[in-house]
Structure 1
């Protein structure tokens, strides 16, 4: 049986961002965890315009190729880790925009949060993100990796090198993601048509 697919989503798209280095660490940690097939999804590469579909996403009546492409990416995942910085006590508009594009594709899947920032460790961004995820019927896990003063973990080459506490937090998040993903899979299986009842002759 194939493993569930976990997508690590880079929420920041701005030039000079550090979130890609953090996301690559999460990707490597998830690969070492061994419970998932892991994909890195960089919203800067996806390059969605500001939401421009005329129909509500729940209808899946997409008129643009970029939306159909984004739908296909998100639909193949069974769980997500959203890597987000904190912008003005919230998460980036690029991540909100990417979430708003779709509806059905997100539903009944577990989501982990990795936030980074200064003294707040991006916690206000994570707090703002959780109700958005639940409104899309995702299930955020309690376990998370929150990274305070994240610049101290960056090498001169720009790689992210966590301490033991961050690694332990990340592994705890992945354990819970796998547990919830396993539990949620039956909710996304097609419902079998009821068998026709025989009528008396």
Structure 2
């Protein structure tokens, strides 16, 4: 029996006034209610990553930054990812882009999706993230969770600031579909990576 895939929910904003913690806690609850994955919340605030300044990508040579190495070691322990995405000017945060750039081999052949929040549910940023993931040889999946418009204003501090339970009924089907697909791909790609490693040994 193979072990359950390990999935990271990565909080992609580091601002002191970020909104990410609220939807991240809700998404973590949805994941923890499942029996087919192990899930962990990974906060970029816990990794004091400098701006990327390595001689080359981790694809071509080992990184030198101790902070980057710590980040890479953490990322390597997961089989798939859900990124919490805030939309900055139609794209992802600089902090998340930098974190993605600070690793490479640890992302390869692993699936990912996102939960985006913003006026249009961070749809433009999530689409941008998918392109970045492809370049990192990751596998983007179609389902994602988008918290936007009137639903965002029900739970955001600039709106009614209600609990996430106020939007649960709307978001839960998307979260279930996302995790269903993510688990399928995580299992398939985990087996494929293991076969490739055995063949190379």
Does the alignment reach a TM-score above 0.5?
A: yes
Among residues 181, 191, 198, which one is paired with 2:198 in the alignment? 191
Number of the residue aligned with 2:155: 153
1:112 correspondence with 2:119? no
Number of the residue aligned with 1:32: 33
**C-alpha contact 2:154 2:161 (8 A) present in aligned 1:** no
Return 151-160 or 102-111, whichever deviates more. 151-160
Unaligned runs of 5+ in 2: none
3-state SS, counterpart of residue 104 of structure 1: coil
Q: CA deviation at 1:151?
A: 3.5
3-state SS, counterpart of residue 124 of structure 2: helix
**C-alpha contact 2:47 2:71 (8 A) present in aligned 1:** yes
Unaligned runs of 5+ in 1: 195-201
Number of the residue aligned with 1:171: 176
3-state SS, counterpart of residue 198 of structure 2: coil
Number of the residue aligned with 1:80: 81
Number of the residue aligned with 1:11: 12
Post-superposition Cα deviations, 1:141-194, rounded to whole Å, max 9, x if no partner, equal 111111113231358887533331201100110000011111111221113369
Q: CA RMSD for the aligned pairs?
A: 1.9
The 5-angstrom pairing of residues 83-94 of structure 1 reads 83-94=84-95
Question: In structure 1, what is the Cα distance between the partners aligned to 2:130 and 2:28?
Answer: 21
Question: In structure 1, what is the Cα distance between the partners aligned to 2:191 and 2:171?
Answer: 32
**C-alpha contact 1:21 1:158 (8 A) present in aligned 2:** no
What is the TM-score normalised by the length of structure 1? 0.89
3-state SS, counterpart of residue 83 of structure 1: strand
1:121 correspondence with 2:121? yes
Higher Cα Rg, which structure:
1
Question: In structure 1, what is the Cα distance between the partners aligned to 2:116 and 2:200?
Answer: 43
